């Protein structure tokens, strides 16, 4: 096994951080100015989680490339953590948005585009009724409310270490039977998250059976493949069992396709023929213009209609939700970019990336694994894929060091990100995750693999 020591990682990280700063005087200057008015120097805290000491400020984009204010160019494999899966400034989406915007961004009235978009969403995902929200977090919050309303049950079930956006009910973890909010959650609605949520491990059928048997869970919210603590595939048959158990216990099944849309034009729901009661998809659905959809069954629609006429519901969405530009952006993204044809081009490139990383792992005998969902590829510092969220915390013995600690953070991760950025490769700020977009090329993939190889070579040199 290749020997990578903490000392070596830290030494290289120090020199790469220095280089990062030297290459980006303008970004640094801008960051120092923005700190006066934005908490953490950024308009949204997420933008502060990148390695390197300060965020890179963007000047311009072209397809899947970004140029920063210092003139550095990057092959963008982060793609806004899926929000820009369609590429930046995609011409058809820009044209559709521009056309609509000249006719008004938002009117609190529908436009003709709604006809095509509604039909297309049903064709792709098999659900007849839809609402348009601003973000996937919004859509998940709304979906949980609707599930509670329809079932008359208060609690929801989520899988341990899941992430579904800023949705309090899912921002908790179960550590050895102790439910707690995730660290950093401000102002939780309830002190004890077990009042709102039951958590079980992904792929744990007995725990799922037990958690649902009391028939007090309104809905199970899940991604088809977990994506937020690395890529964790369901065991064969797990999703079928989940569907059966939810049906048997009158529990709704909410599938969140926000990241798994990387798997194909209808996400993994389409690839695997899943049958959710509720489906949520945000991020790239309008090419990164803020929009998300929530779809649901006829049965839910009928039950809701009996309770309150749809237009009299309060506490869901907002006046900007479903605005005309968002619907126009969705029509363009679905028509021109999130197509089978594009996925058929992107997925083989992602396979090439996966193979390249697998060869690197084998060549250096690293105790890492690489996984892929469609055009999304991720490697982690563990010898084999975990089966659930808790396993991602497993302390993996790696030489005599603990440089990889929980596998998601730590100096090795920071080094990979800064080292790649200094050589024109942008990864997602957390995880070793890369997305292949519609204009990504073979050369882009080769660049990424070569940069990684060079890094491992430097780290393992005697
Ligand atoms: C699976 C999943 N659902 C929902 C969300 C929330 O998306 P947004 O932050 O755009 O609201 C995320 C964000 O990463 C996600 O990973």
Q: Which range has the worst mean pLDDT, 32-46, 121-135, 260-274, 351-365? A: 32-46
pLDDT at 401: 44
- For ligand 1, whether the C-beta of 72 sits within 6 Å is no
What average pLDDT does the segment 385-413 reach? 65
Of 116-120, 190-194, 249-253, 328-332, the one with minimum mean pLDDT is 190-194
- Give the distance (Å) from ligand 1 centre to CA of residue 225: 14
- In the three-class reduction of DSSP (H, G, I as helix; E, B as strand; rest coil), residue 207 is classed as helix
Residue closest via CA to ligand 1's atom 14 equals 165
- Ligand 1 pocket test: which of 132, 279, 283 has the largest number of ligand atoms within 8 Å of its C-beta? 283
281 C-alpha to ligand 1 centroid (Å)? 9
pLDDT of 213: 98
Q: How far is CA 92 from CA 98, 210, 336, in A?
A: 10, 49, 7
Q: Would the pLDDT of 402 be above 80?
A: no
417 vs 259: CA distance, rounded Å: 21
CATH of the structural domain 6-85+340-460, one choice from 3.90.1150.10, 3.40.190.10, 3.30.1950.10, 3.40.50.2300: 3.90.1150.10
Count CB atoms within 10 A of the CB of residue 32.
11
Between vectors from CA 160 to CA 155 and to CA 166, what angle results, nearest 5°?
A: 70
For ligand 1, the distance from its centroid to the CA atom of residue 258, given in whole angstroms, is 6
pLDDT over 50 (residue 348)? yes
What is residue 400's predicted lDDT score, i.e. its pLDDT?
A: 38
Q: How far apart are the CA of 257 and the centre of ligand 1, in A? A: 9
- Mean pLDDT of the region 314-334: 95
Query: What's the Rg (C-alpha) of the chain?
Result: 22
| Contact 269 CB / ligand 1 (< 6 Å) | no
Looking at domain 91-337, its CATH architecture is 3-Layer(aba) Sandwich (3.40)
Cβ(257) – ligand 1 distance below 6 Å? no
- Out of 165, 170, 289, give the residue to mutate to test ligand 1, the one with the largest number of ligand atoms within 8 Å of its CB: 165
Protein residue closest via CA to atom 7 of ligand 1: 136
Residue with tokens 């779809």: 295
For residue 24, the model assigns a pLDDT of: 98
- 189 neighbors 373 (Cβ within 8 angstroms): no
Q: How confident is the model at residue 395 (pLDDT cuts 50, 70, 90)?
A: very low
Query: What local confidence, expressed as pLDDT, does residue 411 receive?
Result: 87
The answer to whether 248 touches 234, Cβ cutoff 8 Å, is no
Residue ranges of domains in the chain: 6-85+340-460, 91-337
Average pLDDT (74-91) is 98
Instruction: List pLDDT tens digits, range 275-311.
Output: 999 999 999 999 999 999 999 999 999 998 888 777 7
Q: Which contacts qualify for 405-408: CB closer than 8 Å, 24 or more apart?
A: 407/230, 407/380, 407/381, 407/382, 408/229, 408/230
Tell me the mean pLDDT in the region 152-161: 97
Ligand 1 neighbourhood includes 431 CB (under 6 angstroms):
no
- Quick one: pLDDT at residue 310? 77
Cα separation, 444 vs 62, whole angstroms: 14
Q: How close is the Cα of 76 to the center of ligand 1, in Å?
A: 19
Backbone dihedral region of 34: left (phi > 0), alpha (psi from -120 to 50 degrees) or beta? alpha
Point out the ligand 1 atom lying closest to the alpha carbon of residue 283. 10
Q: Is the pLDDT of residue 408 over 80?
A: no
pLDDT at 259 over 90: yes
Q: What local confidence, expressed as pLDDT, does residue 409 receive? A: 53
Ligand 1 atom nearest residue 83's Cα: 10
As a whole number, mean pLDDT of residues 195-209 equals 98
CA angle 36/42/47 to nearest 5° reads 160
**Average of pLDDT values for 80-99?**
98
Residue 259 CB less than 6 A away from ligand 1: yes
> Over the stretch 220-230, which tens digit does the pLDDT of each residue have?
999 999 999 99
For every residue of 360-419, DSSP letters joined together read HHHHTT-S-EEEEETTEEEEESSSS--SSTGGGG----BTTB-TTTTSSSSHHHHHHHHH
Tens digit of pLDDT for each residue in 40-70? 899 998 898 899 999 999 999 999 999 999 9
| pLDDT above 70: percentage of residues in the chain | 96
The predicted model scores a pTM of: 0.96
Which of 260, 262, 282, 431 maximizes ligand 1 atoms within 8 Å of its Cβ, making it the mutation to test the pocket? 282
As a whole number, mean pLDDT of residues 196-207 equals 98
* pLDDT score of 189: 86
pLDDT tier at 394, thresholds 50, 70, 90: low
Mean pLDDT for 181-209 is 94
pLDDT classification of 314: cutoffs 50, 70, 90: confident
Residue 397 reports pLDDT greater than 50? no
Q: Find out whether 306 and 399 touch, Cβ atoms under 8 Å.
A: no
Q: What is the pLDDT of residues 105-139, one digit of tens each?
A: 999 999 999 999 999 999 999 999 999 999 999 99
- Ligand 1 center to residue 83 CA distance, Å? 9
Beta carbons of 313 and 291 less than 8 angstroms apart: no
């Amino acid at each position: 096994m290749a020997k990578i020591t903490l000392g070596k990682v830290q030494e290289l990280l120090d020199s790469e951080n220095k280089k990062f700063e030297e290459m980006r005087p303008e970004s640094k200057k801008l960051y120092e100015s923005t700190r006066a008015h934005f908490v953490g120097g950024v308009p949204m805290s997420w933008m502060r989680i990148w390695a390197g000491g300060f965020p890179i400020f963007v000047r311009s984009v072209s397809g899947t490339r970004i140029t920063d204010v210092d003139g550095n160019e990057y092959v963008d494999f982060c793609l806004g953590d899926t929000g820009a899966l369609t590429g930046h400034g995609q011409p058809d989406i820009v044209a559709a948005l521009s056309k609509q915007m000249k006719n008004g961004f938002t009117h609190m009235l529908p436009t003709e585009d709604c006809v095509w978009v509604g039909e297309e969403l049903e064709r792709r995902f098999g659900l007849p009724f839809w609402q348009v929200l601003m973000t996937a977090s919004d859509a998940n919050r709304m979906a949980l409310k609707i599930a509670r309303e329809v079932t008359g049950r208060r609690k929801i079930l989520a899988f341990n270490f899941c992430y579904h956006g800023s949705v309090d009910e899912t921002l908790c973890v179960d550590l050895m039977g102790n439910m707690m909010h995730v660290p950093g959650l401000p102002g939780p609605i309830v002190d004890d998250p077990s009042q709102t949520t039951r958590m079980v491990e992904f792929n744990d059928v007995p725990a799922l059976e037990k958690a649902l048997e009391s028939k007090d869970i309104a809905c199970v919210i899940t991604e088809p493949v977990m994506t937020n603590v690395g890529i964790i595939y369901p065991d064969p048959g797990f999703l079928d069992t989940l569907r059966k158990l939810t049906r048997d216990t009158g529990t709704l099944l909410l599938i969140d396709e926000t990241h798994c849309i990387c798997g194909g034009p209808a996400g993994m729901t389409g690839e695997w023929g899943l049958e959710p009661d509720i489906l949520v998809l945000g991020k790239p659905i309008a090419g990164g213009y803020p929009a998300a959809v929530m779809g649901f069954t006829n049965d839910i629609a009928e039950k809701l209609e009996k309770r309150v006429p749809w237009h009299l519901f309060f506490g869901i969405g907002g006046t900007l939700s479903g605005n005309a530009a968002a619907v126009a952006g969705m029509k363009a993204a679905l028509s021109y970019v999130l197509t089978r044809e594009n996925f058929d081009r992107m997925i083989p490139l992602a396979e090439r990336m996966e193979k390249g990383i697998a060869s690197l792992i084998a060549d250096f005998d690293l105790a890492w694994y690489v996984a892929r969902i469609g055009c999304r590829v991720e490697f982690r510092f563990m010898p084999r894929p975990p089966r659930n969220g808790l396993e991602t915390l497993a302390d993996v013995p790696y030489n005599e060091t603990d440089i990889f600690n929980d596998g998601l953070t730590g100096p090795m991760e920071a080094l990979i990100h800064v080292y790649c950025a200094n050589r024109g490769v942008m990864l997602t700020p957390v995880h070793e995750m890369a997305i292949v977009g519609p204009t990504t090329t073979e050369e882009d993939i080769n660049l990424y693999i070569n940069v990684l190889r060079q890094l491992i070579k430097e780290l393992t040199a005697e």
